[in-house]
Amino acid sequence: MRVPVAALLLAAAVLSTSAEASASGRSAVRLSLTDSPDPAAVGAPLTYTATVTNTRPGVSAGVTLYFEMRFLPADPQTHQPASPEFVSGTTSTHGCRLHDDGFICPLGRLTAKAVVTARFVVVPKLATMYRAQFAGGAYTHVQGEPYSANSDAVQQTMVRS
């Protein structure tokens, strides 16, 4: 079977890019997000739990976790998104601060294979007709590392009256 030269060159480019990323010591950070309870109730606490994992054997420096509400139901009177009450944001290692409609959690350096858990408590103000109308979202930023698909997570929650 003959493989076109262009395909071999493309494969070589992909392999060298992967090798450079590994050799540079950059760490990949994986993020997951869950909610509890689901369904949630209007006026009752709803907790989103984010888990940040350094998946590489090297240290990740300058890691920051962001949490925000991605989708919100519209208030029937103002037609503006009905933001929940933001109660608290904490991590297993560092503090978080409220910023606009979400939390910022500077995690700093994550050692090899480190796992950090963060909890964000909100109180929904309106019921939703569809799960997609209310969703928490989280993403990470790692200093010196390009955006990657595994650094973003969204969790949809049904809110009942």
C-alpha span between 110 and 97 (Å, rounded): 19
C-alpha span between 32 and 137 (Å, rounded): 10
Token couple for 36: 């509890």
Q: pTM value? A: 0.79
Cβ pair 39, 157 in contact under 8 A = yes
Q: Which fold has domain 25-160?
A: Immunoglobulin-like (2.60.40)
Token couple for 101: 């409609």
Name residue 69's amino acid: M
Evaluate if residue 99 carries a pLDDT over 80.
Answer: yes
Q: What are 42-85's pLDDT values in tens digits?
A: 999 999 999 999 988 888 888 999 999 988 888 888 888 888 99
Give 64's contacts (C-beta < 8 A, 6+ positions apart). 104, 105, 106, 107, 140, 141
C-alpha span between 87 and 101 (Å, rounded): 11
C-alpha span between 55 and 128 (Å, rounded): 36
